[in-house]
Chain A
Amino acid sequence: MEQTAGKPIPPRDPNHVMQLHRLGSFHQSRLSFMRILLRRLEGEGWTFDRPVFDINAKGVGRAVYSAHGPDRSYSLVAFANDLPPEKRSDRVIATEWDATFTLFDGVPTTEDLDRLADNVPKQEAGRVSEKELSLSRANRSVRLWDHVVDCLSKGQQPDRQKVADVGYLMRTTAVYGSGKFGAADREMTADRPEFLAPFQVEMLSVFLTRAFVMDLVEHMAKMRAPDTAVPLDPDLRRRFGIGNSTGLGMAPFLLNHPALLNNWIGAREEALSRIRSLETAHATEVETFRRFALRARLHAEEWTSEHPVQIEKLAALRKDMATLLAHLDSLDLTADMPWNRLWLWAEGALSVEGQELLASLLMEPYPHLVDGMATCMAADEPATWRINGAMPLEELRALVKDIYGWALDIDWTAREAQARVWYTSEAKLEPRLGERFEEDLDAYEQPLCPGRDAARMHADLQASNEATVAGFLMRHPEHRHVARRAQIAGRLPYAEIRDNTIDASVMPIDMLRLKLSFFGACHFDPRSDRWLRINMYQHAPFPHELGDRSGDDWAYPFLKEGVV
């Protein structure tokens, strides 16, 4: 029996949580958008079909994958391409891809498909309409693709180790949603129950993309050798996720959507606080937790990276998992606020990676305390966006000290403190990070350094005699952007990253990982300080398997038979 009498444990302090090294150590959880989606698809008994699959021996053609829910249908429209190797690049500046996609609102007609065939393969250079909800593309992992086609066409299964080393056959390199390149605005679909939680359009698109990619690889093997080719073994097939290569574009998103960021982190912190506040735990809940910890250890073992920072973090994480599992054996977790005791121990015993993995693991035994929070993760951004001009200036001064106190302690005249500049390049509007003192970029700086901007505003706030925010901003329009941020973060405690985003030592991949962890990605593999690769939906059921296999329990690798 759960009791939440006693003193509830409050959510963690934003000054502690909202630091980049911690946000950059987040892991997927029950609140990840992929898991929210698959729970719904399974729970509502969505059905799936493939009305079009017209792809030739060179791998060129089109396919349609439809998902039918209680009220509406959606279709992934896929265009497969025979891409010359020299054109394969995951950068935004690429112009051709192995496959391109859009998520269509409904089931497309042949006319729709012809219109999309003229536009979707061009991606940013094409144009879609309000009937389309997303636009995306993917490139093959050449090293694994060729191996799998080769094996299957000879009637053999691919090498398990090779599959484990890469983890996917294609990686998406951008999944555009909400109104981009002519697509429907999020506002047009946001009130549909299936899209209430964030990024459900994009997650559905990727889920169907994975099904397409696996069908395509089997199709290519069959086209090569119709007499000998075999399909993938179903268990091995589920070990393939969809990769993703993500660059700096995700970082501005987090800073440009403070209310949304607050609601993501706030939901996670509320879940953690509820679980830490439990007076007791049932033996079955403790056992569920332990099983997930074993699976998380397996995930940590399979997770590889060549990046020195991640190599170090992974070594610490593997050690953390051993420490945690050993500690569990010595602990009675059924009484005396067990999870809070475990948490307080972890704060001293585990690395930041390990602590944040524990936060995710603690949610696993408690779907009834956690899953409902999914509905709180979207944001009514307009409701918190307007500046409150009537606020006394003294109050804004206090907000700045509270939210940006860390930034007021920084010596902003030091070169290291503002060594970097966020800017947008002329070429395909690629978001980039430059060196302020080596390149002439100041004039193009994007407002993605709230700490520095707040410190600048603080100096003018100290000197101002104005009584209200309205009067102050009339004289200082240059502070309007950060004044808005401060007011939003004053209302929403997790809205602001409380760290220096332009410091010489900043690792933008921390911001990317934060966002991707909420998507539900795993196997974060930084390829530099500015881009990384991940895996999505690895071990998840395919659309036709949902119902027979859980839409919720797949995000950690499964234990081998006999492991206890």
Chain B
Amino acid sequence: MSWSLNEIETLSRKAARGAGLSWGLAEEAGKAARWLTAAGLPGPQVLADLLTRNDGADYETLCPMEAEEDAWVAKGGTLCPLISGAVLCDNAQRLGAGELTLGRTAAPMLLLPYLDAAAQQCGTALTIRWNGTAITLGDSAQTSGQGLDAALAEGITITAGTSDQTGTALQKQTRGDMPAEVAKTLTAFAERTYAPETEASRLSGAGAGLTDND
């Protein structure tokens, strides 16, 4: 089924919130799924898989800490790309000035939208690499290598500047396709944000009052 980018963003935002992320992080997760879809990448699929894996995990175990200078790892062992991505973006100036490594990270594809925003913010192209895959973000975004949809990656590096490998440019899309089971997973997470229907809320929550059939 063809989805609008707006629908993908909205569903992804609600799903991320339903999976336990703060509203601010969930908003960025929604934008991330949208960005990936618009770049021709399977954003909602990767997000659905990540949320399923991290369901119930505590923020403290997923967020980055600086183990040594310019090397981030998660207390719990595996970094969440939605949290790390937001933190990377918040540190855009630092990324533009040097190199950073990330320890084991889930679904690294989800870092790309955040790094793209960071590249815009610091005004420099940024290149992220893992397991032979290299993606340059910024004005002339391109990818090379086969491991873009890795479920996990170790030893991720983020450097200022473009990749020296020849890559393919991202293909701009205006719509997204989402497999039915992915939509179902995201919808199930999103439903956690909806209040169960009660008679009282049905009557008063939207302001019954006067008749609306006249």
Contacts and interface: CB of A to CB of B under 8 A. Distances in A.
B146 to A, nearest CB: 30
B7 A484 contact: no
A66 B145 CA distance: 50
A68 interface: no
B209 interface: yes
Contact of B4 (A130, A139, A423, A434): A130
B61 interface: no
Contact of A179 (B1, B4, B89): B4
Nearest to B208: A528
Given A386-B121, A439-B200, A531 B25 contact: no
B207 A248 contact: yes
Contact of B213 (A142, A184, A432): A142
A141 interface: yes
A2 interface: no
Contacts of A427: 197, 202
B4 A425 contact: no
Contacts of B210: 306, 527-528
Given A477-B24, A527-B210, A426 B174 contact: no
Contacts of B197: 425-427
Interface stretch (A86-94, A149-157, A365-373, A405-413): A86-94
B90 A473 contact: yes
B183 to A, nearest CB: 12
Interface string B199-214: 0111011111110111
Interface residues of A, number: 68
Contacts of B212: 89-91, 245, 527
B27 A481 contact: yes
A480 B24 contact: yes
Contacts of B170: none
A426 B112 CA distance: 33
B62 to A, nearest CB: 10
A482 B92 CA distance: 20
Given A185-B4, A477-B59, A426 B90 contact: no
A474 B63 contact: yes
Interface in B24-82: 24-25, 27-28, 31, 59, 63-64
Contact of B90 (A470, A528, A530): A470
A389 interface: yes
Contacts of B24: 473, 477-484
B139 interface: no
Nearest to A249: B206
A88 B90 contact: no
Interface string A240-259: 00000101100000000000
Interface stretch (B99-107, B128-136, B148-156, B187-195): B187-195
B6 A185 contact: yes
B6 A179 contact: yes
A426 B2 contact: no
A127 B214 CA distance: 30
Given A185-B6, A390-B92, A528-B210, A474 B22 contact: no
Contact of B22 (A92, A441, A480): A480
Interface in A504-531: 508, 527-531
Given A182-B3, A182-B4, A424-B195, A439 B201 contact: yes
Given A425-B195, A444-B193, A432 B174 contact: no
Nearest to B8: A179
A180 interface: yes
A175 interface: no
B63 A531 contact: no
A511 B200 CA distance: 24
Interface in A432-487: 432-434, 439, 441, 444, 447, 469-470, 473-474, 477-484
A483 B22 CA distance: 12
B185 interface: no
Contacts of B3: 182
Contacts of B87: 470, 473-474
Contact of A85 (B1, B63, B174, B213): B213
A531 B209 contact: yes
A434 B201 contact: yes
A129 B194 CA distance: 26
A248 B89 contact: no
Interface in A180-195: 180-188
B201 A248 contact: no
A385 B31 CA distance: 11
Give the one of B120, B195, B214 with max A CB within 10 A: B195
A387 interface: yes
Given A444-B195, A481-B27, A530 B174 contact: no
B42 to A, nearest CB: 19
B159 interface: no
Given A426-B196, A427-B197, A527 B207 contact: yes
Contacts of A432: 195, 201, 205-206
A178 B207 contact: no
Nearest to A188: B174
Nearest to A508: B207
A283 interface: no
B165 interface: no
A228 to B, nearest CB: 28
Interface string A59-87: 00000000000000000000000000100
Nearest to A475: B63
Given A130-B175, A427-B202, A484-B24, A470 B91 contact: yes
Nearest to B63: A474
Contacts of A179: 4-7
A178 B2 contact: no
B162 interface: no
A325 interface: no
Give the one of B7, B89, B206 with max A CB within 10 A: B206
A248 B63 contact: no
A477 B206 contact: no
A434 B205 contact: yes
A553 interface: no
Given A89-B213, A179-B4, 10 more contacts: A91-B206, A178-B4, A178-B6, A185-B5, A386-B117, A441-B195, A480-B25, A481-B27, A484-B27, A530-B209
28 contacts: A90-B212, A92-B206, A93-B202, A129-B2, A130-B4, A130-B175, A142-B213, A179-B5, A179-B6, A183-B4, A306-B210, A385-B31, A386-B120, A387-B90, A425-B194, A425-B201, A426-B191, A426-B194, A426-B196, A426-B197, A434-B204, A441-B195, A477-B24, A478-B24, A480-B22, A481-B24, A483-B24, A527-B209
Interface of B: 1-7, 21-25, 27-28, 31, 59, 63-64, 83, 86-87, 89-93, 117, 120-121, 174-175, 191, 193-198, 200-202, 204-210, 212-214
Which 10 pairs, one residue from A and one from B, show the smallest C-beta to C-beta distance?
A: A480-B24, A530-B207, A389-B90, A179-B6, A432-B205, A528-B209, A179-B4, A470-B90, A528-B207, A481-B24
